Structure 1
Amino acid sequence: MKTELATTRARRPARAEGQGLRLGEAAYQEIKRKIVSNEFAPNYQLTEGRLAELLGMSRTPVHEALVRLEKEGLIENIPRHGMRVLPISAHEMLEIYQVLTALESAAIELIVRRPDAADAVASLRKEIDAMDRASEAQDMAAWAAADARFHRKFFELCGNGHLMQIGLASREQVDRARMLTLPMRDTTIRSNQAHRELVRLMERGDAELAALSHKKHRERVTVELTEILRRFQGIGL
C-alpha cells in the first residue's frame, strides 16, 4: 500500500508539469494566431492578467507564451504594462520575402521532379480554382485563405522535410503582412493569372522555367506589399 501511495505521489508532479506544458503551448498558439490574423493588430497592447482572463488561463502559461513570442520578434514585453504587438517593418518584410521567394522556388523545382508530380500539381490547381471563384465573388477573405493554402502546399508537397519546416515558419510573418495589406492591394486577378501560368509550366515538366516564373511573380508582389507597408509605416503599420 505504501509503495502504491508513493508511486501515486511521484506521478502527480509529472502530470502537473505535462499539463503546464500543454497550457503554455495552447496559449502560445492562440496568441500567435491572433497576431498573425491581425486580430491583435500592430501596436495592440494588453496586460498579462487581462490576456490570461481572455484566454481563460492562469498567468503562468500566458507568461511563458509571451516570452516565446518576444523571442520570435512578434511582441515586446513591457514591465507592468504587458505585451505590445510589434509593428510590421517594410524592410523586414522585404528581407523575409526575399528568403521566402528562394525557398518557394526551390520547393517548386522539387515538386516538378517528383514521380507523382501530376497529383501534386492537380492539388495546386484546385486552390487556383478556389481563388478564381473568390475573385469573381469579390470575397477577399476567401481569396486570401485559398492563396495561403496554395503557397503552403509548395512546402507540404516538395518532399523535403527540412525545407518544409523552414518554409512554413517563414510564411507566418508573410501571412501577417499579407492580411494587413489585403484591403489596400490591387485586383487579385493578376495573381491568379500568374498562379495559372506557374501550374501550366509545372504540368509541362519545366522545373527551371516554373521556378523562374514564380520568382518574377513574387518579386512583383514583394514590391507591391512592401511599398504599401512603407507608405503606411508612419501611422503604425
Structure 2
Amino acid sequence: MVEPTAALECKIMGARGMDGSRKPQSNTQRAVAELRAMIFAGELGAGTDHLESELADRLGMSRTPVREAGLMLEAQGLVEMRPRKGLRVLALSPADMRDVYDVLTELESLSAERAAQAGYTKDDLAELAASISEMQAALDDDDRVAWAAADDRFHAELVRLGGNSRVIGIVGMMVDQVRRARALTLHMRPAPVKSCDDHRGVYDAIAAGDGASARSIHHAHRTHAKDMILGLLDKHRFHQI
C-alpha cells in the first residue's frame, strides 16, 4: 500500500514527535501558515506588494523566517519574491483558473482510477470516508468553512491514494490556487449538496475496485466545480483573484 506523504503538512503545520505529539512550529512554519491565511482571507490582496520588514512586524518575528516563508509560498505559486522590493501576491485571472482546474481535473481523476485499482480495504479508505462524513456534517450545520476544510481533506487523500509521487507534487503546487478562487466564491455558491454526493460516488467506486467509474465520476465532479466557480467569477466581474 501507498505510504502517506506528510512533507507539506510538516512544513506548514510542524512535524510530529516520536510519541505522535505535535512539535512546536518554527517561525518559518508559522510565517507560512499565517501568510497563507492572510492571502486566502484577502488581507494580502492579489497584486499587492509587501516589504519583508512590514510582514515581519505584522507577524511579530524577524525578517529571516518571513523571507524563507516567502520562498516556500513562491514555490507554491502564491507570491513572487523580488529583490529589494519584498513579496508580491500573485494575481490569477479566470483564464489562469481554467488552466489550473483542467490540470487538476485530469490528475485527480487519474488518482481516483489508480486508487480503485490498488485493492484498498475499508480500513485503508477510512480517511477518505471520514472526510465525506465531515463534509456532510458541515453541510447540515451550514458551515461552509468547515465544509471547505473537509473537502480539502478528501482531495488530498484521494491524490495520496493514487500513489503517484509526481502527481502528488504537481497537485500540491497547484491546489492553493484553486483554494483562492473557492474562498472568494464560497458564500456565493449554492449549498454544496452535489459535491458531497459526488464524493460518495467516487468513494463507492474505489471501494468496489471500479477504476473507470471512479475516474468518470471525479472528472465530472471537477468539471462541474470549474464551470460553477468560473461562472461566479464572471457574474461578479472578478477579473483577478
CA distance in 2, matches of 1:211, 1:194: 11
User: Retained in 2: the 8 A contact 1:90–1:227?
Assistant: no
C-alpha contact (below 8 Å) 2:75/2:173 kept by paired residues:
no
Two-structure CA RMSD over aligned residues (Å): 2.7
Gaps of 5+ in 1: 1-21
1:227 and 2:227 equivalent?
A: no
Q: Given the two structures, how large is their TM-score scaled by the length of structure 2?
A: 0.76
CA contact (8 A) 1:36 1:173 kept: no
- TM-aligned CA deviation for residue 228 of structure 1: 1.6
What displacement does 1:142 show? 0.9
- Structure 1 residue 218: Cα displacement: 0.9
Contact 1:198 1:213 in 2 (8 A): yes
Q: List aligned pairs for 1:186-197, cutoff 5 A.
A: 186-197=190-201
Aligned residue identity for 1:116:
Y
Q: Which residue in 1 is equivalent to 2:128? A: 124
**Residue pair 2:120, 2:207 contacting (<8 A) in 1 also:** no
- For 1:144, the aligned partner's letter is A
| Structure 1 counterpart of 2:111, from 107, 111, 118 | 107
CA deviation digits over 1:181-227, x for unaligned, max 9?
10111111111111112222222211012101110111111011112
Percent same amino acid among aligned pairs? 36
Q: Does structure 2 conserve the Cα–Cα contact (< 8 Å) formed by 1:38 and 1:179?
A: no
For 2:159 and 2:43, the matched residues in 1 are separated by 26
Correspondence for 1:178 among 178, 182, 187: 182
Among 156, 161, 169, the alignment partner of 1:152 is 156
Contact 2:111 2:162 in 1 (8 A): yes
Q: Which runs of 5+ in 2 are unaligned?
A: 1-25
Q: Which amino acid aligns with 2:231?
A: E
Cα distance in 2 for partners of 1:66, 1:215 equals 33
Kindly indicate whether the alpha-carbon contact (under 8 Å) linking 2:205 and 2:211 is maintained by their aligned counterparts in 1.
yes
Contact 2:233 2:239 in 1 (8 A): no
CA contact (8 A) 1:24 1:62 kept: yes
Equivalent pair of 1:155/1:168 in contact (CA under 8 Å): no
Which residue is 1:162 aligned to?
166
| 1:207 and 2:211 aligned | yes
Partner of 1:140: 144
TM-aligned CA distance change 1:104 to 1:67, over 3 Å: closer
**Structure 2: distance between partners of 1:116 and 1:78:** 46
Per-residue deviation, residues 145-178 of structure 1 (Å, max 9, x unmatched)? 1111011101222222222222222212112221
Distance, in Å, in 1 between the alignment partners of 2:57 and 2:181 is 28
Distance 2:234 2:71 in 1: 28
- Higher helix proportion: 1
CA drift of 1:88 comes to: 3.0
Cα displacement string for residues 20-69 of structure 1 (whole angstroms, at most 9, x for unaligned residues): xx755654454234324545343555443221111223334434544564
Which structure has the bigger radius of gyration?
Answer: 1
Q: How does 1:22-101 map to 2 (within 5 A)?
A: 27-36=31-40, 38-66=42-70, 69=73, 73-76=77-80, 82-101=86-105
- Report the TM-score, using the length of structure 1 for normalisation: 0.77
